[in-house]
Amino acid sequence: MTPSASRPRSWRQFILGLVLYVVAIVLQNLFLAPEQLQTGGLPSVLVVLLAVLPMAPAVWAMLGWVEAVRGFDEMQRKMLSEAGLLSLGFAGISTFSYGFLETFLGLPRLSMFVVWPLISFSFLLAYPMVRRRYR
């Protein structure tokens, strides 16, 4: 299959994976209410399986995204890579800086759930800058 022929299928896989991820999060929150976990109402194995349930469609979506990117031309891949590296660098500097502030100034601890949105937001800022550089 040519890269251009696999792109629509890859994008469908990516989008469907994201939708299934959201559905899994909703189901997870219905069955894993904090009160239920504190009372020990579910077996540990079931709690672990439900806790990581959203990761299955997330991985499937990621594989669709990787396949879609493989269909991009070299310039698009170069811009995505550069923006990704910039966003990871910014996220790394930001998280380490905040970690030092947590440690030495007693700022509130942040959940690991903020890291991915920070990387994503950084990418949304970096990509237009990178794109403008290659015009």
Q: What is the pLDDT of residue 4?
A: 55
Do 91 and 130 lie in one domain? The reply is yes
Q: In whole angstroms, give the CA distance from residue 61 to residue 55.
A: 10
Is there a single domain that holds both residue 55 and residue 104?
A: no
Same domain, 55 and 110: no
Of 52, 63, 53, 48, nearest to 20 by C-alpha is: 53
Which one, of 84, 12, 98, 17, lies nearest residue 55 by Cα?
17
Q: How many CB atoms lie within 10 A of CB 15?
A: 13
Q: Are residues 46 and 80 in the same domain?
A: no
**Do 66 and 6 share a structural domain?**
yes
Are 63 and 79 part of one and the same domain? no
Counting the structural domains of the chain, the total is 2
pLDDT in tens, 35-55: 665 556 778 788 788 888 899
Are 7 and 66 found together in one domain? Answer: yes
**Do 26 and 5 share a structural domain?**
yes
The pLDDT value given to residue 1 = 43
pTM: 0.74
- Residues of the chain falling short of pLDDT 50: 1
> Percentage of the chain with pLDDT > 70?
89
> Residue 48: which domain range?
1-71
Q: Could you say which of 55, 71, 87 is where a domain stops?
A: 71
91 shares a domain with 32: no
Give me the pLDDT at residue 49, please: 83
Q: CA-CA distance, 28 to 42, in Å (whole number)?
A: 13
pLDDT at 34: 66
Residue where a domain terminates, one of 71, 103, 118: 71
Same domain membership, residue 36 and residue 23: yes
Q: Are residues 91 and 65 in the same domain?
A: no
Give yes or no: residues 62 and 86 share one domain. Answer: no
Quote the pLDDT of residue 57: 96
Choose one of 51, 71, 91: the last residue of a domain.
71
C-alpha closest to that of 61 among 114, 21, 1, 116 = 21
Q: What is the mean pLDDT of the chain?
A: 88
